[in-house]
Amino acid sequence: MATLGLSEAERESIERFERDVIQPSMSAIVILDFWAEWCGPCKQLSPVLDKVAQDYAAKGVKLAKIDVDQEKMLAAQFRIQSIPTVYAIYRGQPVADLTNYRSEAQIKKVLDQLLGQLKIEPEGATPETEVEPLIAMGEQILAEGDAPRAVGIFRQVRDMAPDNAEVIGGLVRALVKAGESVEARSILDELSQDQAKKPEVARARAALEVATAAPAAETPALESRLAINPDDHEARFELASAKMAAGDRDGAADALLEIIGRDREWNGGAARRRFLQLLEAHGLEDPWSSAQRRRLSALLFT
């Protein structure tokens, strides 16, 4: 805003607007509420906005209020015709008109959409661009088989981004590979319901369940039982679990598919559930998992 020819009061008004609205909006969404003391609807909406701003403060949302009677110049700049008028401001520009949203749920829904679209980081969060390369490094080292080193990397990254689902999932899977299943389960048990629903966390949980389904037992006795009776599904299921625990995913998949091919409904579909769990543990988009899904489809639909 130009300040030439303005009174001292108007200059101070602009300075406050720069300080309270423009500057914070460079890195956060500012809910800008135009109101007046005599306005009944304004007084009804005010506590709702206060509550929303408080709940979303850590997500990158702030609240600023402008009394149209005290700040006539600012109200004129925004062409305020009626109050309350409420805008969402980002990088100095209105990005949404919130005026018609009067309930807490409605306003939060719009803010959630804006936060996702604008990719605003929560206050104090490590920028995603700093975390992504470290996650990729941890995943590469884990894929190469150095689980203890991967654990160390993911621990450091989690210190930077404690709520990042990719980091949590990577750390849990690394702990499972390193034989630290107790700690892996402890981390999963401490997560909120929202975090637990994330695909990256679900994959990590599946990896833990696959690894702890059965001890990496000797298999000759189970193979002997199957040689005598190929329809001993219990023995084959135990064999699949033992192979999973030993890291033999191909052998485990073969055994489970064999059960499904012979009796897909055995034990309430236990073999199919375990097979899908095995795929999830390795990542549903992994080429190996895709190939195994095709094997399952061919078995079920031919």
Active site residues: 39, 42
CB 271 within 8 A of CB 256: yes
Tokens of 166: 């990719």
Q: In the beta sheet, which residues pair with residue 85? A: 34
Tell me the pairing of strands 29-35 and 85-90.
antiparallel
CB 16 within 8 A of CB 3: no
Angle (nearest 5°) at CA 272 between 266 and 278:
140
DSSP string over 157-219: HHHH-TT-HHHHHHHHHHHHHTT-HHHHHHHHHTS-HHHHTSHHHHHHHHHHHHHTSS-----
Cβ count within 10 A of residue 49: 21
Of the candidates 287, 262, 257, the residue with the CA atom closest to the CA atom of residue 272: 257
Length of the chain: 302
For CA atoms 207, 208, 209, 212, the dihedral sign is positive
